Amino acid sequence: MALCRAITAFVGRKHGLRCSKLIVVRFICPASAVGSATVVETYFRSERPRYLGIWTLMVTLGVPVAPFIFGFLAQRVSYRWIYVVLAITNAVQFLLYLFLGPETLYLRGRTNTPASESRTLRNRLLPRLDDKPLTLTSFIKPLKLGLYAVVTIPAVSYSMIFLWQILINVEMPAIFIMSFHLNAQEIGLQYLAVILGALIGEFGGRFVTDHFIRGREQSAPERRLLLSHVGYALTICGMTVFLVQTMHAGHKWNITPLVGVTISAVGNQLVTTLLIPYAVDCFREQAGDVGVYITFYKGKEWRAKLRHE
């Protein structure tokens, strides 16, 4: 990804942008899919919902934090510097994780790791703990989770709520530039509403959820799903406030549409932090496959929505 950022920064124009998009889309998918498996294999079951929620929060915040930080850079220097900074950041991340990032794969029932004990140069540099061969079935296996309602229903529900959040992230700059004539830096500041809503939804929702299931640990995963309906309602309410208030604002900016954005972001994060941990908890040993399936379904729904529009 660092390479594609550099290509976009220095080549520019449509060919550089197209190349960057193609490379990023292909290389960012594994990172977004294996997060659930990393959390499951790193933390105990009692800690898992909290850290899965933090992981989903980081995934959610990736989109609004970017314009919030780089809006001033595009306004005062050049949009190319966004890609320069990202290229440097990705390169530093790669080097740090290459030398400091430990392998988190946990093989249940294994007492030894033959691949890691090999003295070959390849296994010293890139040790592989799981000695099972990689086959075509390994890529298709996550799709089999679609046969289970405990994974498919949360994936569908989360994907639909995610679409509304993407609608805000994509349409807000287009609408605000045309209606309020805001510049790049001012548009970036509007995303503070999304960031604030996501933080409230995660930490406020976590507090309410823990209080709601206290003393009922046997049915905790299913009881968490009851609170997701609050997230659906908040998302619908927030979207309605955003669209109606934007329509009534005319050509003078006011904060009321952003109130709707914050409410919608709270609902989106509440649904996310409840549904994804539930689906992962139902298939703990296939947590990586659950992440792949949800990411695949989310991307499929998003592409279908964009084609329809």
What is the distance of C-alpha 1 from the center of its chain?
17
Tokens matching residue 307: 């084609």
Each of the 309 residues of the chain gets a pLDDT tens digit; together they read 555 555 555 555 555 556 666 666 656 666 666 777 778 778 887 777 788 888 888 888 888 898 898 888 888 888 788 878 888 888 888 888 777 766 666 666 655 544 444 444 444 556 666 666 767 777 788 788 888 888 888 888 888 888 888 888 888 888 898 888 888 889 999 999 999 999 999 888 777 777 766 655 545 567 778 888 899 999 999 999 999 999 888 888 889 999 999 999 999 999 988 888 888 878 877 777 787 788 777 765 555 444 444
H helix count then E strand count, the chain: 15, 0
Question: In angstroms, what CA-CA distances link 251 with 77, 174, 198, 200, 216?
Answer: 28, 14, 28, 30, 52
- The whole-angstrom distance between residue 306's C-alpha and the CA centroid of its chain comes to 18
- H or E segment at 252? none
CA–CA distance, 154 with 201 (Å, rounded to integer): 18
For the record, the structure tokens of 170 come out as 């994509």
Chain centroid to Cα 187, Å, comes to: 22
How far apart, in whole angstroms, are the C-alpha atoms of residue 203 and residue 5? 33
Residue 200 contacts by C-beta under 8 Å, 6 or more apart in sequence?
A: 262, 265, 266, 269
27's CB contacts (< 8 A; 6+ apart) are 1, 4
Whole-structure pTM value:
0.79
